[in-house]
Structure formats: C-alpha cells, structure tokens
Amino acid sequence: MTRPVGVRLSTTRTRATNDHGQPLGRPVEWTGATAPARDLVLEGRGVRLEPAGPQHVDDLHAALCREDDDPIWTYLAWERPRDRDELAAILEHGAADPGQVRYAIVPLETGRAAGFCSLMRIDPAMGVIEVGGIALGRQLQRSRAGTEVMALLMRHVFDDLGYRRYEWKCDSLNGASRRAAIRLGFIWEGRFRNALVYKGRNRDTDWFSITDREWPRVSRALEDWLDDRNFDEAGRQRARLAARPPEPAGTDD
C-alpha cells in the first residue's frame, strides 16, 4: 500500500495518523467533478427540467404569482412578482449568473412550466454543489412529480457529474423545507445562526447534505418510491419514501 510521506497507519486505531499522532481523514483519489451544462434537459417519467428562459415566463407567472401564492415566496430571496416583467427579471438574472444553473420544471402531462429550481454554489474542484431557489406551484407541491424533480437532479449530480457532496440549505423557520430535506434523505448538519439578512429580517440557516457514500442508499429509496408499482390507480402512494438512514449517520472522515 502506497502512502504519502509522513503518514503511517496506526496499529491501534482504525483511521490513519501522521508521525505526530494526529488523526487524518480517509485517503481520497480525487480529480474533480464536472460543472453542470447550462443547456442540458433532464427528463423523467412525469417531469422535465429545462434551462429556464423567457419562454417559461407566462407559464411560471400563472403557476406561481397569483395573490394567493404569497406563501410560496415567504422564504425565497424575492418577493412575489406582481407582474410578468418582475418574474422575467428573476429568470434573466438566473440565466446570466455563472454560479448557478436554473431549471424550469415542466410536468409532462401539461407541457407547461409549473416551478423552478437551481443548482448553485457549484464547486467542481471540491465536488460540492447545492440545490436551492426552489419554487413549486400547487401542481407540484406534495406530488410524485415534485419528488422526481429532486431525484433527477441528484442522479445528474452524483452519477453523471461525479460530485461528492450535495447540499440543501434553508431558513431554520421553514418547516416545510426542513421536512422535505429529511424525507429526501438529507442529513441535518447544524444551524448557522445570524447567517443572513433578507427581506429585512434575520435568517438562521439550517444545513443538510447527502454525500457520495450515502447516495446509493438514497438512490435505491427514490427508485423504489417512484416505481409505478408504488402507486394505485388514483395515483396515491402505497408506501412512504424511506430515504432516511435507520440511525443517525456517523462522521464521514
């Protein structure tokens, strides 16, 4: 076994230590991940993710920007757009930002965009990427298609692009987002207090992640849940999504 100079394997510990007796993280053969393409379309059984653009403005305005859609925007960075021009500006900003790829979420049964989301904080060198800026219209909320959106992104990030860490962050007061992360198999890592000021108020941010070592378990759970056999004729789930580990995950070092 080849080891870097100055590193030895301890005979009394299960992890490596250096010549000073200090523990070291597990060795990783790492050459980096691939940045997501800005023009790629991801398609599943019931939903398609397209690079968000001007062609989606009218559909997204109808799906997300009615007066009774205010709750969708409470924990997002933006106030609810009052007209299509305000929404178009949000999509234009996302398309121009080199640090993210924003997708329009298009249910195949309608062919009309019903939400959007982004891959962001993209760091191919370290293999870290975040999903965020998620706005789901009523058609997608608590739906099979909404879960498939997250599964498509995870598969793309881990299987196609080779990332080691997939992050989810939210306002600590956003109970729906916290529950969604846990249901999807993310592990809660902690709370960054006074992390942001947005919309004139404080935000404590909760951090969640899935690592490449956890992805096989999460992938199997998502595949089983999305299988047609898990849904009755009315489209109701037969078994709940079980992506969480049976017990809290240990330190991954």
**Residues in contact with 85: Cβ distance below 8 Å, sequence separation at least 6, in sequence order:** none
CA–CA dist 228, 10 (Å, integer): 50
Lookup: tokens for 64:
């997300």
Lookup: tokens for 86:
């305000």
The answer to the question of residue 191 being in a domain is yes
The answer to the question of residue 52 being in a domain is yes
In terms of DSSP H, where are the helices of the chain? 57-64, 70-73, 84-96, 144-155, 175-183, 215-226
Residue 8 has a pLDDT of 35
The answer to the question of residue 13 being in a domain is no
Q: Please tell me whether the overall predicted TM-score, pTM, comes out greater than 0.85 for this model.
A: yes
Q: At what angle do helices 57-64 and 84-96 cross, to 10 degrees?
A: 120
User: Which residue is it, tokens 């980096």?
Assistant: 32
Residue 242 has a pLDDT of 85
Average pLDDT along the chain, 253 residues, taken 10 residues at a time:
36 71 92 96 97 97 97 97 96 93 97 98 98 97 96 98 98 97 97 98 98 97 97 95 70 50
- Structural domain boundaries enclosing 126: 31-230
The total of structural domains in the chain comes to: 1
The answer to the question of residue 4 being in a domain is no
* CATH number of the domain residue 109 falls in: 3.40.630.30
DSSP label of 231: B
Residue 10 has a pLDDT of 37
Is residue 145 a contact partner of residue 117, using CB atoms and an 8 Å limit?
Answer: no
Residue 12 has a pLDDT of 42
